[in-house]
């Protein structure tokens, strides 16, 4: 499909048909960018947001259990970078981390959050921390996951919700 600006991309809408909504029950939201639509999850209501930035190859699905667990107390944001998950997949775009970082910053500026805990993993680290460097006043806490270490991710995902909520306070 050819989108605005003549960019060829794979449309994200048809991708949601296969999604198990029991595992990923969130309402899809989209942010328009010149190269396509960036999908994101925005669940919960709070002045403080937990923003989860996935790595490669991953998408917001990685953080689904955290969103389910923490959205009763915090606003939880989990975007899919362009080309990943439920976001558009432009064919003629370069996918460089600095361009993902620019898109991520545009999304967070659009959402206008003033108090953020930033959770990053893999190459979500440089993407998310780029925002933190540019907006240090908005970042209250940072957490870097090493999910190249399979065991540490299993421990984190299996950690009880009540303990995670205490740690975030």
CA 15, 20, 26: angle at the middle one, nearest 5? 85
Task: Show me where the domains of the chain are located.
Answer: 4-13+29-168
pLDDT digits (tens, 9 = 90+) for 69-99: 999 999 999 999 999 999 999 998 999 999 9
Identify the burial level of 27 via C-beta atoms within 10 angstroms of its C-beta, where 0-12 means exposed, 13-18 middle and 19 or more buried: exposed
Q: Give the three-state DSSP class for 58.
A: coil
4-13+29-168: what fold? Rossmann fold (3.40.50)
Each residue's pLDDT tens digit, 125-153: 899 999 999 999 999 988 777 555 554 44
> 101 with 129: CB under 8 angstroms?
no
pLDDT band, very low/low/confident/very high, at 64 (cuts 50, 70, 90): very high
> What is the pLDDT averaged over residues 5-31?
74
pLDDT over threshold 50, residue 112: yes
pTM of the model: 0.81
């Amino acid at each position: 499909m050819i989108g605005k600006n003549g960019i060829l991309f794979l449309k994200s809408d048809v991708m949601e048909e296969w999604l198990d909504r029991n595992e990923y029950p969130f309402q899809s939201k989209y942010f328009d960018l010149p190269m396509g639509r960036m999908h994101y999850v925005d669940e919960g209501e709070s002045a403080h947001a937990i923003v989860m930035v996935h790595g490669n190859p991953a998408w917001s699905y990685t953080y689904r259990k955290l969103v389910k667990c923490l959205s009763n107390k915090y606003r939880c944001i989990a975007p899919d970078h362009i080309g990943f998950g439920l976001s558009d997949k432009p064919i003629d775009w370069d996918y460089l981390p600095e361009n993902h970082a620019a898109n991520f910053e545009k999304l967070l500026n659009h959402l206008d959050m003033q108090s953020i805990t930033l959770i990053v993993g893999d190459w979500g680290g440089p993407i998310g921390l780029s925002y933190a460097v540019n907006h240090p006043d908005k970042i209250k806490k940072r957490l870097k996951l090493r999910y190249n270490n399979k065991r540490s991710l299993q421990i984190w995902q299996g950690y009880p919700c009540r303990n995670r909520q205490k740690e975030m306070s």
